[in-house]
């Protein structure tokens, strides 16, 4: 009787593990690549934003509480910046600290200004990175590592000579 076992299951596990690892990296780092060009403190940034929630990031933020950000959104209203304890800073391609988030009801041009007693400070706007996004990326990363380890174990067991 022929033995029923998958001959190439190891490479499928390794392939899925590598794809999961790439997905985890994308989830963790993609917001940092979708930021508007940075603007020095004291200057006004004009940026076209879609409707929805956006985040303001600053660097450096040695004195986070002393940095003040204001602005006008597309519908003529003022930016209502709200601190969010679940927001996380961005690390790639550059370190940015979360200052707060705001909502725009309509798409259009938004004017933002941040200022504070920080030498060489800059600010930018982009997507929100929350602690839940980081946790999701970490969970996918753990799954990827488990699949890669299982794939390697299956490959090593498959190579073992039969007695």
Query: What's residue 163's pLDDT?
Result: 58
Map out the domains of the chain as residue ranges: 1-34+129-163, 35-126
3-state secondary structure of 94: coil
Neighbour-count burial of 64, counting CB atoms closer than 10 A to its CB (0-12 exposed, 13-18 middle, 19+ buried): middle
Query: What's residue 5's pLDDT?
Result: 57
**pLDDT under 50 in the chain at which residues?**
1, 4
DSSP letter at 160? S
pLDDT digits (tens, 9 = 90+) for 114-149: 998 888 899 999 999 999 999 999 999 999 999 999
Query: What's residue 18's pLDDT?
Result: 95
Tokens of 19: 């794809």
Query: What's residue 90's pLDDT?
Result: 93
Q: In whole angstroms, give the CA distance from residue 138 to residue 146.
A: 12
Query: What's residue 103's pLDDT?
Result: 92
3-state secondary structure of 22: helix
For 35-126, CATH gives 2.60.120
Backbone angles phi, psi at 8, to 5 degrees: -120, 25
């Amino acid at each position: 009787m022929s033995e029923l076992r998958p001959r190439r299951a190891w490479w499928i596990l390794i392939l899925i593990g590598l794809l999961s690892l790439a997905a985890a990296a994308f989830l963790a780092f993609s917001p940092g690549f979708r930021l508007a060009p940075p603007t020095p403190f004291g200057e006004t940034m004009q940026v076209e934003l879609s409707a929805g929630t956006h985040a303001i990031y600053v660097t450096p933020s040695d004195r986070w509480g002393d940095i003040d950000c204001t602005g006008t959104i597309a519908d003529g209203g003022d930016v209502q910046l709200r601190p969010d304890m679940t927001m996380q800073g961005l690390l790639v391609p550059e370190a940015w600290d979360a200052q707060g988030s705001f909502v725009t009801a309509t798409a259009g041009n938004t004017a933002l200004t941040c200022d504070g007693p920080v030498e060489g400070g800059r600010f930018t706007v982009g997507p929100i990175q929350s602690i839940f996004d980081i946790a999701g990326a970490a969970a996918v990363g753990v799954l990827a590592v488990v699949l890669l380890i299982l794939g390697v174990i299956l490959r090593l067991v498959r190579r073992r000579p039969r007695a």
